[in-house]
Structure 1
């Protein structure tokens, strides 16, 4: 017979996390409706981040540069996320770890140079 009592703290944690996240999402919306703060208008519902209206015809053309810059940001953000643990564990990984990271960085530099040469980083 498997002893499942070890998983009780995890279950309690998940129930509390689910309850808190639900409260943080729905409680402000309920309070806004009850207090009268929920007053939508065209200015509040307008586009604000990507530069094109969110409720248009889905087949309309739009500028893909925004998404290209976002993808490049994610790539170089992941690079930074890999560099920190590598630097901390460099003593344990030795020369093999150092060489592997240099190959990884060289690939990223080549990709960055290619994106720069193609004009992906130019904003007109």
Structure 2
């Protein structure tokens, strides 16, 4: 029974070992010359002045987060559209339910004001 999982073990081992090998080779081949200027925190090319703990509106981040959520969910529509003619009634009903859930989520986000810029 363990032979069935051998492929997964090989892929998992390769996924762990390969990045480690690349990091070791990079460390050996690349020159290391850390200067004071290279170790400074880079933030938009400007030195911070005054109090850096300021508040900013989260609405932009909420708008982007909602876009990503709906974008990822609509990616699932593409495989379904490719096999549309081969699917039975059950798959079509599932897609109608999926789209209804998307519309409900969109309506909820709209009602809560997450889609307003200001």
Q: Give the TM-score normalised by structure 2.
A: 0.59
**Quick one: higher RCO (CA 8 Å, sep 6+), 1 or 2?**
2
Q: 1:25 to 1:77 in 2, by over 3 A?
A: farther
Residue 123, structure 1, aligned to residue 117, structure 2: yes
CA distance in 2: counterparts of 1:13 and 1:123, whole angstroms: 44
Aligned to 2:32: 35
Are the equivalent residues in 1 in contact too, given 2:60–2:117 (CA < 8 A)? no
Q: 1:122 to 1:25 in 2, by over 3 A?
A: farther
Aligned to 2:47: none
Root-mean-square deviation (CA, aligned residues, Å) is 3.6
CA distance in 2: counterparts of 1:6 and 1:16, whole angstroms: 17
3-state SS of 2:115 partner: coil
Q: Give the TM-score normalised by structure 1.
A: 0.57
Q: 1:104 to 1:8 in 2, by over 3 A?
A: closer
Aligned to 1:95: 89
Structure 1 unaligned blocks of 5 or more: 48-55
Equivalenced residue count is: 109
Deviations 1:46-90 (A, max 9, x none): 48xxxxxxxx99xx9764435523431342133223112222333
Structure 2 unaligned blocks of 5 or more: 45-51
Q: 1:31 to 1:123 in 2, by over 3 A?
A: farther
Residue 104, structure 1, aligned to residue 103, structure 2: no
